[in-house]
């Protein structure tokens, strides 16, 4: 968990954020929405950069306990997809 601010918000296109100074985790990212090539839905792309607390050791510890940000993002995107498809 960390505090962030929105730096770009284009409804239906993208939202970007960055962590606030002094946050435990330094991060920034963008979520982009684009019509699927088939015209049957929306593609969602997530890009995120982060620096875990305690550097490499912190990243390794997070991976060992199943709290790696990449893994969490995949799970969050799956939940988002399920919610959008089923309401």
pTM across the whole model: 0.70
Q: Please list the alpha-helical segments (H only) found in 1-87.
A: 55-64, 69-86
Contacts for 53 with CB less than 8 Å, ≥ 6 apart:
24, 25
Tens-binned pLDDT, residue by residue, of the chain (87 aa): 678 999 999 999 999 999 999 887 788 999 999 999 888 888 999 898 877 666 666 666 666 666 666 777 788 888 888 898 887
């Amino acid at each position: 968990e960390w505090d962030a601010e929105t730096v770009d918000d284009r409804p239906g296109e993208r939202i970007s954020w960055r962590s606030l100074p002094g946050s435990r985790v330094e991060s920034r990212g963008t979520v982009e929405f684009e019509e699927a090539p088939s015209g049957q839905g929306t593609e969602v792309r997530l890009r995120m950069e982060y620096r875990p607390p305690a550097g490499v050791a912190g990243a390794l510890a997070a991976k060992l306990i199943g709290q790696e940000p990449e893994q969490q993002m995949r799970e969050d995107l799956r939940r988002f997809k399920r919610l959008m498809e089923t309401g």
